[in-house]
Amino acid sequence: MEIDKIVRVNSPWNGEAERITLGMGCFWSPEARFGAMPGVVRTRVGYAGGTTDKPIYREMGDHTECVQLEYDSDTVAFEELVAIFWERHQPVNINGYKGKQYQSLLFYENESQRSAIDRVLLKRERSGLGRPETDIVPCSAFYAAEERHQKYYLKRYPQAIEALSTRYPTQPQLNDSTIAARLNGLAKGYTSMERIKNDIETWQISDAERSGILGLISSIRW
C-alpha cells in the first residue's frame, strides 16, 4: 500500500490541518481525549505499525491500535500533542501486553516532526522524567478500524447519533466531523458542553452554520 504524505484538509478555521498518528494502548480513550481538544479537526482509530495487509480487529497481525488526528497547527502545536501523548499513557505498562496490539508508538511524517519530537524528549529528560519506552518510527500505512470502533463513546448515546444524522447523514460524514470528535470527548468526560460551545464560537464559519451547530448539540439529551 502506498503511504500518503502529510494530509492537509479544510478545517473549521478555514485553514489547513496536519496529521499525527499515535499508539498508546486501547484506541477508544485516546480518540476521545484528543478529540475534545480545541484545534483538533478530525479523529479516527485504526491499525498501523505492522506489515499485515488489510488488518481487522480480530485479525490484526503485527499491527498496533492507533489514533490518527488531523489538527490545526495554528491552534495547537505538534509539540503540545506529543507532550500530552506521553503524559496520558505509560509505555512500560502497555508494551508487551496483548503483543503488538497495545504498543507505545509515535509516528513522524517529516523531519520537522522528528526534530519536534527530539525537543520534547530533551525537555522531559531535563525535567527528570527520563526517556519513555516508545518506538518512534516513520509514518506507515494506516488502516481505519471497523465502524463500531469509531467515536466509540459517542455511539453509546443513540439519541445523539440520531440528532447528528440530520446534519451528517452518512457514517463517514459523522465520523469525520469536528463536532463528533468533540462530543465523543464529552461522552467520555474529557470536556464539557460549555467548553465545546466556547470552542465553536472561535470557528471561522458563517453565523448561520454556527447557530445551526449550537442548536443541534443543545437539543441532545445526555
- Is 26 a residue of the active site? yes
Decide the pairing of beta strands 142-144 and 40-48: antiparallel
Amino acid in position 31: E
Of 6, 15, 16, 26, which residue is the catalytic one?
A: 26
Phi, psi angle pair for 130, to nearest 5° = 80, 175
| C-alpha cell recorded at residue 65 | 491500535
Distance CA 51, CA 76 (A): 31
Tracing cell 485516546 back to the chain, one arrives at: 30
Residue with cell 481538544: 37
Residue ranges of alpha helices (H) inside 22-155 are: 28-35, 78-87, 91-94, 111-126
Q: Which residues of 17-51 are buried (b: 16+ CB within 10 A; e: fewer)?
A: bbbbbbbbbbbbbbbbbbbbbbbbbbbbbbbbbbe
Catalytic annotation, residues: 26
